[in-house]
Structure 1
Amino acid sequence: MNKVLAKTIQICLVALIGLIGHSQEILFKKIAIITGNGASQIELNIADLLKQRLEENANIDVRLIQETKELQYVSGELQILLGTPERHSLLSAQLKTLRIPELTPLAPGREGFLLKSVDNSISLILIAAGLDDRGCLYAVGEILRQLVYKEGQLALPNKLNIRTAPAFEIRGTQIGQSSVAKKLAQVRDWTEEETQGALLDYALAGANIFAAEDDSMYHFIKSYGLMTQTKFGANTAGAKVPMEWNAFESIGRSGYVCLSVPEARDYMLEKCNEHFKDSQFYDLIEFYGGDGGGCECDKCNPYGLTFIKLVEEMAAIIHKYHPKSRIYFTNQKFDNEDDNAIFQYLQEKPRDWLWAWGYGPGSDATTWQPGHRQTHRMDLFEYPGYGPYGLYPKEIIHQIPSRHKLIYYNEITHWKYAQHAYIQMYPRADRNGDLPPHWSHEIYNRRPDQFLTMVYNRLTFYAWPEYYHRVFNDLLRYGNGDITHSSGHHDHFNQWMWQRLLWSPRTTVDEVLTEYSETWFGLEAAPFMAIAILQLEKNLEEKEGVPLDKKQGIDEYFDLVQQAGQVMPSRIMERNWLWRMYMQKAALDKYVKLNVAQQKELERQIEEDVAAYLQNDRTIALKDISNKLKFPKETMEMAALREEAKRLGEESNTIYGQRNDGYFNLQHDYIGLGWLKRQLTRAQNTDTKKADELLKMIVDYANPGEGGFYDNLGTGNTAPHVINGYPYDHGQPYVSQMLSEENRPSQRSMHFTQNEDQGVSLFYTDLDPKASYSVKFTFVRPWFQERYASRMNQKSQKIYADDIVLADNVELPLQMSDFFTYSIPRSATKDGELTIRLERAHGVAIGDRISTEQWRNSGGWGTIVSEVWLLKN
């Protein structure tokens, strides 16, 4: 069965299941939302929200009324009894008449609700009873998901009976547009109403807490009975302070104070007092740890203990003004010593001021994530259990007293170089030289497509249903909930899925996808979109042997989203910014695929010409071959895709201030055509023998010749002879300017060492003791941003063959790679074995512990190499 036919059958089956699920329905054209006479203002606000959302999505007559003594039946009208039973007499009477068990904290549960349809042959009654105010809000969310628009009418399942409540106490996220969207995607600012609408979308999906950025947002959140959260940096100065107060932050950032300086400590306590004495009441207050600063100095060590003791004093200040605020902290970027000190501190005596341990990016002692936690709990790896993500949360809840909770701050907003994202490069060794055990390599072997990663920012539009479903289930089994980190609205699916799983964690991926697609795209388009989103996740990943230009999934995703748009009713399509975002992604990915294919075809033609030239076909001159090497012109198909992405982006920006940043970043040298051009230019300007050597690399790049060996020292590449070193992770943040795009892909990735005495090393056996050998390297060094460059004094390295110096103080070219070849003395290979090793230059990574750590954490390298050829002469 071919893939197209299989996909079509799959879509048909999904659609059939959907039709069966919606076959027993009652249709109506009018809705009455009936609130109780004792309804709270929050209940009334929620009822009004339901009215607004119904009127937005359908041309239906909706009226909002208060209860009367008896129900006033209207033919063809859906009457929704919305509220809490104790404040709604008609609703309470219906529960008694129908002998429906009362709502309790266990059935359905806190923040829960009951939805039950009652057909009395005159009109349809829908009981929408909340255990509390928030229960009413979530009942409204379920009503909106259950209602289906059909031919000018609304349909509701005939025998609807849902009694449910959330599985986790804390369910939240952050709302807003990202600075990346505003700068790179050039989107307009959201209005206040749009920001509020985005917040309510997640609240209707089950969220109950949000960060309140200002008083207006605070009051809006509270008007729906939701909780608010704020953050405070224990050592974040937020103002210019005396130089002697400055912290030794892990990557040398300014703006943080050393808490071992008494005056700085007093300053932060006073700042906390001033901040909270006149502030609003916040349900949760987070003190963030290392990701916001911290201090590496010896006086603060272990910083975790210094930090938590100050937080205890700050909590006392807060509780003086807001005794019911719950306090938690995050251990981001703390090391083992820091965490262990906090464990011991919490175990010493009851710490009633502390509610929870917060777990966010850099908090995990059993995974190597960007942000560089400096030590890891290797003792926890003896038995894998459910895998590395769950090992440390399990350890935390074993170590902290039972009065404290574990709350997550999961980062699901970046698709690369982030907590649960594509790591991009295999992890570097930590301070102790530790690396992940072999059985956890799966999470580090997930890498972003090497071409797509050149186009899209870390904060770009994407969706990861399967992998994030796995992450959620690995982690949340140990916690009390999650307030996910979101840096924009590009992570819409991820955030929405997270809220639905926090409500019902055993929901399957397919169930989440179906519900999401029906909610946001309508019943007709849902089957196509559900499968498309699954395919999108697959498209983003680098697949060995299946480069972007060979990925059929790019075209399949495009076709699926396009078909969804074709069957989507006009009333949904008209304002559907979200479908436009998925379609923009489809058009842009396909554009990049075609562009990569163009560049590869040009490369193939150049290689054929060069091969013919080397076979003494000198009818074509090197100059003419070089002149062919111009970036391919945009085809009509590519131009149409680019214009489609432009149109869709303008529409989504107009509708909702959203657009894909990739549209503005499509022009790239994806495969290193610049290297080809340089190689041809060099061949034209040298003698025939050297020219032929340069040209042979074009047609047979990686071939080391008979008896030779080639190692490509990048992430996921074949480097069988490496015995020391690990792929370079480029520091944080990863930026495109660090290396030139004119490098071949194999030249852009590399192995490195940091401040270890032994540099990158390769070991060879079974060499011919009678032969002579030479070694060729590809060297390049990265450019650093200004804030890191001052501490990067490394430019050169030393090269050894066994203990024989081949080259001393070899300066590496900046950004654009080059080749370095050295003859190996026969004395080094006469035993049939050889070690090639690099050694860092004098003065590199030499200094005090703090400056060395800052150097390491900023992407410092001691030795570095991209490729190695051992050549038998």
Structure 2
Amino acid sequence: MKISPRHLLAIFCLIALCPVQLYAQIQDFAAFDRLAIVLGENPSEAEKRVAELLKDRILEKSPISITINQALSEKQTDGLSILLGRPENHTSLQAQFVKHRIRNLTELSPGPEGFLLQNTETNILLAAGIDERGNLYAVGELLRQLRYGKDQILLPENLLVRSAPAFEIRGTQFGQSGVAKNLAKVRSWTEEETQRVILDYALAGANIFSVDEGPMYEFIKSYGLMTQGGFGANTAPEAKNPKWGAFESIGREGYICPSVPEARSYMLEKFEVFAKEAPDYDLLKFHGGDGGGCECDRCDPYGLTFIRLVEDMATIFHRYHPQTRIYFTNQKFDNADDQAIFDYLNEKPREWLWAWGYGPGSDATTWQPGHRQTHRMDLFRYPGFGPYGLYPKEITRQMPARHQLVYYNEITHWKYAQHAYIQMYPRADKNGNLPPHWGHDVYERRPDQYLTQVYNRLTFFAWPRHYHRVFNDLLRYGVGDITHSSGNHDHFNQWMWQRLLWNPRASVEEMVEEYAKNWFGPEAAPLMAKAIFQLEENMEEIPGNPLPEKEGIQHYYELVAESGKLMPENWRQNNWLWRMYMQKAALDRYIQLMVSQQVSTQSGIEDIIRKNASDQSLQEALLLLGKANDESQEMRILKAEAQRLGEESDRIFGTRSEGFFNLNHDFIGLGWMDRQIRRALASKGIQRQEFIVLITDYENPGEGGQYDNLGTANHAPNVTFGYPYDHGQPYLKEMLSEGNRPSQRSMHFTQDEARGVTLHYRNLDPTACYKVRMTLVRPWYQERYAMRMNQKSETVFADGKILAKNLELPLQMSDFFTFNIPAELTEDGELVIHFQKAEDVANGDRVTVEQWRNSGGWGTLVSEVWLIRY
């Protein structure tokens, strides 16, 4: 066994870090400084490409001599020979199978697309694929097994892997996101870099990619991989006839109504052109919604309208491409839509259809903003493994056995998405239904309230534990997954997904360990594995442990930084991925320090004013506020580090954290304090004292009073009706002013219900007088939603008596409203405060109201309520 002194030193360092586990992994390695990749006598073009890929990937980390031959040289005795290919086309491979009595590769052992990786002699390694893709996956496993010295490669001496994928369909999308280009300001990938991303996922086990016709399609097919095309059955932004327009679920334009005969004919003609020009895709997907679809009465149930149109299109496509398998997705369909499709499939054999596709908004047992309007409450009687798997199981039960279930899972956003942080608690659906108590954990996962202000939905992140759970809840019912990816920020999630589609029994610890070794090398892997788990924990809002107190932020920073020091130069020099994890570490720590500084400023001001509320003290407080965002030396160092790392990762691979360009925030609502201090300065006597008390003792309702902080996971014991607010669109900085305190930004609301947000107080002092103070604010909407958002006011009632009629809520920046409660209303020791929507809100036809609801309409809205005894 030949091991260089430098590598021996690395081995001893690793043993010191984890003596038992790591020593067992590295003690039996053979070292080689020469490598011959030996193909069969008549290799296919795909086999030649795979051989070149293996050569190129090894040379990136080791300068050893590598040749690609089509015959095994009898003279080569001091190097490693890798016999790569399919045994039936490779005489040398066949000879090794016979000589060492190796079982032939079959459809059951290892299985379709499988391979054998085995060293039969000291310097001979078999990399035998059952088919062309099997060769590619053999190379992927070999690259994961290799270790690199300064001028040698090291291979386990007793290597034996006979493996095949567990799922038939394993794929994703690829490319750079608009967020990366516009917000992170990265350079565009070259064609070679795009190809590299495709091959990275293919080496992990992917076999299909969503792609348009063109060079990238040809590149994917050249490796024997599969392709998927897509078509929106009612997507036609170029069609300008207003009579053809669809009533899309949130009012988006660019879609036609399939129930308009002329519009339907137009779509079939458009599709005919698409079918003629399209390449021979292996799969063709028709998405039903998100966006798309039509909510009008003529289309109802839209599921039936949609599937009949798709059938006509499939007939056209199969005339040109008879081997392409067709599937559809039921995104944003409701219960009636799905049932209509079940009935259609069971009516008679639909041989044109291969599978039912399951993507964002397809699930009838989870609540997502802007997605399904009705849910299958009958499926909740017994929870089984939880809400994620209930509907896939039901789909496979109801549809004919000839059809498959294939997934289109969304694992690319960290908030406001299919399996991401819901961001706020779910609202009731059209039938008034909410999820059962045992499924609440799905919705109580919330993003850290400070980190979410900095990072976009498409930020760099890794979620091993949560997505491992999602995968295992869902994939047991399907034949695979072609995940939705909006960029390269979801690198870990997509990579783990492909590996789990190959080996779903692998533990999350095994997945993270393999990922860390594959991308950062064996020296850095143990620390990077710990860092990835820590990152997932850091991103979540943890009750009782706000960001300034999260020790995991600093721990993650130290883990990633130390792993970089352990990484040999051949791993570290062009490692854009490590730089992305390190940027995240520096930026998270910067944010933590800034939030801590703002909190300290707020506390300091409260102390000053609590001791002395003179004009001089208030002026001093304003000066302190002006310095709240001044950067400390540590913060400046972290920011410079993040900038340098971002410039390096952009240069190396066109990636960078967009968070670097979005660090300036009022995280805790110091803008509110600034306004309150200025109001106090401008007032005298009792009025000034009221302003001061809110600064120094904000939540305290006084003796005999009660305070409700409405919103998700907040303490609001008197609320009896309403839902924590969800506006139906991703959080935008402009929607609510950051000058609001966090408690002012969070609220309860109702939609088109006749009954508004309600609070019921009990055990009041019947002899006392009470007043009610409330915090109110309304959000700003993007232009595409604002056109249907006419709600501005609400009416406030106390035990049915009007306290304020058509009270207008302030836009974006909250304010307080106080009303005296008539004494006779509390003589019985109880009081009901409720809100009622304005008369002109959520009126109109069914479709108009549904679009209003789906895009975040609110009828009543309230942030905080104090019941004060005086």
Structure 1 length as normaliser, TM-score? 0.97
Aligned to 2:869: 872
- Paired residue for 1:53? 57
* Structure 1 counterpart SS, 2:607: helix
Tell me the amino acid that sits aligned with residue 50 of structure 1: L
Offset, 1:22:
1.8
Q: Is residue 788 of structure 2 the alignment partner of residue 791 of structure 1?
A: yes
Distance 2:676 2:331 in 1: 47
Q: CA deviation at 1:686?
A: 1.2
Shift of 1:620: 3.9
Which of 843, 848, 852 in structure 2 is aligned with 1:846?
Answer: 843
Say whether 1:21 aligns with 2:25. yes
The 5 Å alignment of 1:711-790 reads 711-790=708-787
Query: Which residue does 2:607 correspond to in 1?
Result: 608
Structure 2 counterpart of 1:38: 42
Of the structure 1 ranges 368-377 and 100-109, higher mean CA displacement relative to structure 2 is found in 368-377
Following superposition, the deviation at residue 659 of structure 1 comes to 0.2
Determine helix, strand or coil for the equivalent of 1:217: helix
Partner Cα separation in structure 2 for residue 290 and residue 681 of structure 1: 50
Residue 622 of structure 2 corresponds to which residue in structure 1? Answer: 626
SS at match of 1:489: coil
Residue 16 of structure 1 and its aligned partner are, at CA, apart by: 4.3
Quick check: 1:153 aligned with 2:162?
no
Question: Residue type of the partner of 1:88?
Answer: H
1:144/1:790 CA distance change after superposition, 3 Å = same
Contact 1:426 1:444 in 2 (8 A): yes
Within 5 Å, which residues of 2 pair with 1:340-419?
340-419=339-418
Alignment partner for residue 834 of structure 2, among 833, 837, 840? 837
Shift of 1:632: 3.2
Deviations 1:558-607 (A, max 9, x none): 00000000010011111000000000000000000000010011101100
SS in 1 for 2:371: coil
Which residue matches 2:427? Answer: 428
Partner in structure 2 of residue 89 of structure 1: 91
Secondary structure of the 2:326 match is strand
The structure-2 alpha-carbon separation of the partners of 1:271 and 1:374, relative to structure 1 and needing over 3 Å to count, comes to same
Residue 112, structure 1, aligned to residue 114, structure 2: yes
**Alignment pair present for 1:659 and 2:656:** yes
**Kept after mapping to 2: 8 A contact 1:362/1:370:** no
- The verdict on how the C-alpha distance between 1:637 and 1:695 changes in structure 2, with shifts beyond 3 A counting, is same
Q: How far does residue 31 in structure 1 lie from its aligned partner after superposition? A: 0.6
> Contact (CA 8 Å) 2:244, 2:260: kept in 1 or not?
yes
The change in CA–CA distance for 1:15 and 1:294 in structure 2 (over 3 A counts) is: farther
Q: Secondary structure, in 3 states, of the residue corresponding to 1:525?
A: helix
The residue number in structure 1 matching 2:695 is 698
Deviation string 1:714-770 (CA, Å, 9 cap, x unpaired) is 111111111110011122233221000000000011100000000000111111111
Residues in 1 aligned to 2:547 and 2:18: alpha-carbon distance in whole angstroms = 28
Offset of residue 482 of structure 1 = 0.2
Specify the SS of the correspondent of 1:327: strand
Structure 2 contact 369–854 (Cα < 8 Å) conserved: no
Alignment-mate amino acid for residue 596 of structure 1: V
Superposed, 1:148-547 pairs within 5 Å as 148-547=147-546
In structure 1, what is the Cα distance between the partners aligned to 2:721 and 2:733?
27
Distance of aligned partners of 1:510 and 1:421 in 2 relative to their CA distance in 1, 3 Å threshold:
same
Alignment partner of 1:75 is 2:77: yes
Partner-residue secondary structure (3-state), 1:433: coil
Structure 2 unaligned blocks of 5 or more: 1-12
| TM-score in terms of structure 2 length | 0.97
Q: Deviations over 1:297-340 (max 9, x none)?
A: 00000000000001001000000000000000000000000000
How much does 1:684 deviate? 0.8
- Matched with 2:593 is 594
Residue identity in the other structure for 1:632: N
Query: More displaced, 712-721 or 484-493?
Result: 712-721
The answer for the alignment partner of 1:100 in structure 2 is 102
Unaligned 5+ segments in structure 1 are 1-8
The CA RMSD over aligned residues, in Å, is: 1.3
* Distance apart, 1:14 and its partner CA: 4.7
- With 178-187 and 32-41 compared, the bigger mean Cα shift is at 32-41
Contact kept? 2:772, 2:867, Cα under 8 Å: yes
SS at structure 2 position matched to 1:805: strand
**Secondary structure, counterpart of 1:241 in structure 2:** coil
The AA in structure 2 aligned to 1:42 is A
Counterpart residue number, 2:9 = none
Quote how far apart the aligned CAs of 1:133 are. 0.2
1:52-97 CA-to-partner distances (Å, cap 9, x unmatched) read 11111211111111025xx424233110000000110110111011
Which residue identity is paired with 2:333? F
Aligned residues, how many?
857
Residue 17 of structure 1: how far off its partner (Å) = 1.2
State the Cα distance separating 1:18 from its structure 2 match.
2.5
| Counterpart Cα distance in 2 of 1:52 and 1:619 | 72
Q: Give the match's secondary structure for 1:304.
A: helix
What is the CA distance between 1:525 and its match in structure 2?
A: 0.4
Is the CA contact 1:11–1:528 (under 8 Å) kept in the aligned structure 2? no
Change (3 A) 1:871 1:172: same
Aligned-partner Cα distance in 2 for 1:793–1:226: 51
The Cα offsets for residues 517-538 of structure 1, whole Å up to 9 and x where unpaired, read as 1110011000010000000000
1:607–1:698 CA contact under 8 A, matched in 2:
yes
The answer to whether the 8 Å contact 2:15/2:23 transfers is no
Name the CA distance, whole Å, in 2 between partners of 1:820 and 1:620: 28
Distance in 2 between the 1:564 and 1:505 partners?
Answer: 28
Distance, in Å, in 1 between the alignment partners of 2:309 and 2:704 is 64
How far residue 408 of structure 1 moved from its aligned partner, in angstroms, is 0.3
- Structure 2 letter corresponding to 1:220: F
Question: For 2:355, what is the secondary structure of its paired residue?
Answer: strand
What is the Cα deviation at residue 206 of structure 1?
0.0
1:682-725 alpha-carbon deviations (Å, 9 max, x no partner): 01111221111111111111111111111111111111111110
The residue type equivalent to 2:409 in the other structure is N
2:671 to 664, 668, 674: 674
Deviation, 1:772, is 1.2
What is the deviation of 1:488? 0.2
C-alpha contact (below 8 Å) 2:615/2:681 kept by paired residues: no
Q: Deviations over 1:211-231 (max 9, x none)?
A: 123310010000000000011
Amino acid at match of 2:33: K
Contact 1:361 1:371 in 2 (8 A): no
Amino acid at match of 2:621: I
SS in 2 for 1:299: helix
- Report the Cα distance in structure 2 between the residues aligned to 1:798 and 1:292, rounded to whole angstroms: 35
- Say which SS state the counterpart of residue 738 (structure 1) adopts: coil
Distance in 2 between residues matched to 1:624 and 1:49, nearest whole Å: 66
- Give the conservation status (yes or no) of the 8 Å contact 2:314–2:352: yes
Alpha-carbon separation, structure 1, partners of 2:325 and 2:332: 23
Alignment CA distance shift 1:717-1:546 (3 Å): same
> Contact 1:15/1:527 (CA < 8 Å) preserved in 2?
no
What is the rounded CA distance, in whole Å, between the counterparts of 1:337 and 1:295 in structure 2?
A: 14
1:13 is displaced (CA, Å) by: 6.1
On the 8 A contact 2:331/2:358 being kept in 1, the answer is yes
Q: Please name the residue that 1:803 is paired with.
A: 800
